[in-house]
Amino acid sequence: MSGYPLRRSTLSAMQDIDACQWNALVGRDQPFLRHAFLDALEASGSVCQSTGWEPCHACIWQGERLVGALPMYRKHHSNGEYVFDWGWAEAFERAGGTYYPKLLSAIPFTPVPGPRTLIAPQANAEAVRAALAKAWQAHSLPVALSSWHLLFADEGDVSAWQAQFPELIAREGVQFQWQDNGFGDFDGFLASLTSKRRKMIKRERRLVAEQDISLERLEGVEITPEAMAHFYRCYAITYHERGRAPYLNQAFFEQLLRTMPDALMLVQARIDGQPVAAALYFRGEQTLYGRYWGSEVIADCLHFEACYYQGIEYCLEQGLARFDPGTQGEHKLVRGFAPQRVRSLHYMVHPGLAAGVARFCEEEGAHVAAYREAALEALPFK
């Protein structure tokens, strides 16, 4: 097989590629790159041309074997990305340029750091990466796409791309993640905190119990279609409260329940035995990912319990080393979630736009680094 030349193809739908071939390139700790997850986004209509996400995934083949892949989408807006570039678009269009459509390599609506470039272990990584670069260059240059963006790639992925293509512009951000430092159990985690934060967490958990709210975790096949339907009602509420429709539709979650239940964990909050709130998690080999939440009731500290403390407790019980609860939120810091650097890469076709974005990212990066250092100092551990 090593004697075959590399060839490139574009995939307009995940259903057009064999799931086993795709999944053979995906690490076991990243459920969001699995064929079932990306296919559910497309099959449900959450990701399609009408929602501004046109799939054009890059695939690299050696003979009949898939040896490289890169999720890609033609984007007609910047919604659902969580690396905000509206200012770049506005500046470029004021100068007479056209920013959209652009090309994006990311997991739609999922700001989870991890590998984005899929390369077979036996393949020549540099050659495969070069072939993938030709894929986004071929999309960008002839059809006047303004740019290519690689979002929330892990450090290894970012470094490898930069080493081969120095013209790529790096942008830094911060997320808050929890790590198990040998706590043993939840009481051990609490014991590692300062008295002030330990008392705060105990009080918040007590307040939930005093409102006669009980919590239950459902895993995999324990999650019934009825439980998923209730979760979706709660999830949709969080969007409707902000006056907008949810990014993801109910069909997406229903398909996940059918095709990858092993990766799902649902926390249900109940009053008098009836579910009133829910948080949906995903599980990797070493990491728990908190993703979606919603509630039909207003209850003190219920969000902290369902989305943070249940996740920490689950990790400690299951032996998971890391808990990624999602983006944003300095309120995570005082609950033991440490700031982590996240990075994205950006290629701008227009030299003037590239120069402006590079200056912006350099200045922003200095502020982000200072913020991350200050946040580390504010962690609540003894």
Confidence of residue 140 (pLDDT cuts 50, 70, 90): low
Asked if 337 and 325 count as a contact pair (C-beta separation under 8 A), the reply is yes
Q: Count of domains in the chain? A: 2
CATH number of the domain where residue 73 is located:
3.40.630.30
On whether both 43 and 118 belong to a single domain, the answer is yes
On whether both 244 and 348 belong to a single domain, the answer is no
Model confidence at 344: pLDDT above 60: yes
On whether both 155 and 262 belong to a single domain, the answer is no
Model confidence at 2: pLDDT above 70: no
On whether both 310 and 369 belong to a single domain, the answer is no
Asked if 40 and 67 count as a contact pair (C-beta separation under 8 A), the reply is no
d(CA 357, CA 350): 11
Q: For CA atoms 14, 18, 23, 26, give the dihedral sign.
A: negative
Domain contains 138: yes
pLDDT tens per residue, range 188-235? 999 999 999 999 999 999 999 999 999 999 999 999 999 999 999 999
Domain contains 82: yes
Residues facing residue 293 across a β-bridge? 279
On whether both 250 and 125 belong to a single domain, the answer is no
Domain contains 329: no
On whether both 165 and 186 belong to a single domain, the answer is no
Domain contains 327: no
For residue 67, the model assigns a pLDDT of 97
CA 85 to chain centre: 17
On whether both 162 and 228 belong to a single domain, the answer is no
Radius of gyration of the chain (CA): 22
What's the mean per-residue pLDDT of the chain? 95
Model confidence at 144: pLDDT above 80: no
Domain contains 298: yes
For residue 77, the model assigns a pLDDT of 95
Contacts of 374 (CB under 8 A, 6+ apart): none
On whether both 144 and 251 belong to a single domain, the answer is no
Model confidence at 266: pLDDT above 60: yes
For residue 328, the model assigns a pLDDT of 74
> How large is the average pLDDT for residues 282-293?
96
Asked if 60 and 54 count as a contact pair (C-beta separation under 8 A), the reply is no
pTM of the model: 0.96
Percentage with pLDDT > 90 across the chain:
92
On whether both 189 and 160 belong to a single domain, the answer is no
Confidence of residue 327 (pLDDT cuts 50, 70, 90): confident
For residue 264, the model assigns a pLDDT of 98
pLDDT tens per residue, range 239-255? 999 899 999 999 999 99
Domain contains 121: yes
pLDDT tens per residue, range 63-117? 999 999 999 999 999 999 999 999 999 999 999 999 999 999 999 999 999 999 9
On whether both 130 and 13 belong to a single domain, the answer is yes
Domain contains 285: yes
On whether both 293 and 344 belong to a single domain, the answer is no
On whether both 72 and 142 belong to a single domain, the answer is yes
Q: Of 107, 124, 108, which Cα lies nearest the Cα of 116?
A: 107
Helices (H), the chain: 19-23, 35-43, 86-94, 125-140, 155-164, 186-191, 195-210, 225-240, 250-259, 302-304, 310-318, 351-377
For residue 36, the model assigns a pLDDT of 98
Model confidence at 330: pLDDT above 90: no
Main-chain dihedrals φ then ψ at residue 286, nearest 5 degrees: -125, -5
Main-chain dihedrals φ then ψ at residue 66, nearest 5 degrees: -75, 120
Model confidence at 1: pLDDT above 60: no
For residue 326, the model assigns a pLDDT of 87
pLDDT tens per residue, range 351-373? 999 999 999 999 999 999 999 99
For residue 228, the model assigns a pLDDT of 98
Contacts of 165 (CB under 8 A, 6+ apart): 133, 347
Domain contains 359: yes
**What's the domain range around 244?**
181-320
pLDDT tens per residue, range 29-64? 999 999 999 999 999 999 999 999 999 999 999 999
DSSP state at residue 309: I
Residues facing residue 324 across a β-bridge? 289
Model confidence at 142: pLDDT above 60: no
Q: Return the amino acid letter for 146.
A: S
Percentage with pLDDT > 70 across the chain:
98
Q: What is the 3-state secondary structure (H, E, C) of 97-140?
A: CCCCCEEEECCCCCCCCECCCEECCCCCHHHHHHHHHHHHHHHH
Q: How many CA atoms lie within 13 A of 50 on its CB side?
A: 4
